[in-house]
Amino acid sequence: QKEVEQDPGPLSVPEGAIVSLNCTYSNSAFQYFMWYRQYSRKGPELLMYTYSSGNKEDGRFTAQVDKSSKYISLFIRDSQPSDSATYLCAMTKSGNTPLVFGKGTRLSVIA
Amino acid sequence: GAVVSQHPSWVICKSGTSVKIECRSLDFQATTMFWYRQFPKQSLMLMATSNEGSKATYEQGVEKDKFLINHASLTLSTLTVTSAHPEDSSFYICSASPTLGNEQFFGPGTRLTVL
């Protein structure tokens, strides 16, 4: 079993839809959870950062972490064509240890 | 805030030459920086962890004599690909973690093409 599992998609949704992306993990030592957005030929952009369990909201984005289930989610409300990208979940034990990434989910939002 | 830059953004070189890529944290100090490579349609693969003032820690299968990493200051790490070959062509991305913080911020990446 991989440390972090993420459905690679592709996922295609109409504009305005609510998008749900998720990852599961196996290492209970992970404390910091991140979601990155990566456009083609660009570096990943940090979207959401969460410590331990809980919810965090930023504009149209909501991140949820359930450590008891080892499950994290990213919700995108009112999705836009500009949200079309690859979304990577990542997690780590602390800031000076490497991130462990999911494979990334390719999202297309169709106008 | 939390901007990481990379230079150059792309480079084309001949086989056998060496290429240096710089990674800078512009508005924060980073004790730790990480180097990744990414092939098309694949996720990022960690190459090494770079700590300021000490030797880098390389992942299994990454040749430390081929990929030289120097982290001489709290805002700069460099990756030198020595005697580059076409199979080294890839997208190289660095990330930096603030000394006081746990997030990791990525640079825009460097596309290396070896002819």
- Please report, in tens digits, the pLDDT of each residue of chain B (115 residues total): 689 999 999 999 999 999 999 999 999 999 899 999 998 888 899 999 998 888 899 999 999 999 999 988 999 999 999 999 999 999 999 999 888 877 889 999 999 999 9
* B5 token code pair: 């830059």
Q: Which of A36, A42, A95 sits opposite B97 (nearest CB)?
A: A95
Chain B: closest CA distance from residue A14 (Å): 23
The pLDDT-based confidence of A1 (bands split at 50, 70, 90) is low
**Interchain pair A101, B49: CB under 8 A:** no
Whether A32 contacts chain B with CB within 8 A: yes
Residues of B in contact with A94 (CB under 8 A): 102
Interchain proximity B43–A104, CB inside 8 Å = yes
Please tell me the distance from the alpha carbon of residue A70 to that of residue B112, in angstroms, as a whole number.
37
Please tell me the distance in Å from A30's CA to the nearest CA on chain B. Answer: 12
Average pLDDT, chain A: 93
Closest C-alpha among B77, B43, B81, B76 to residue B62: B81
**β-bridge partners, B19:** B81
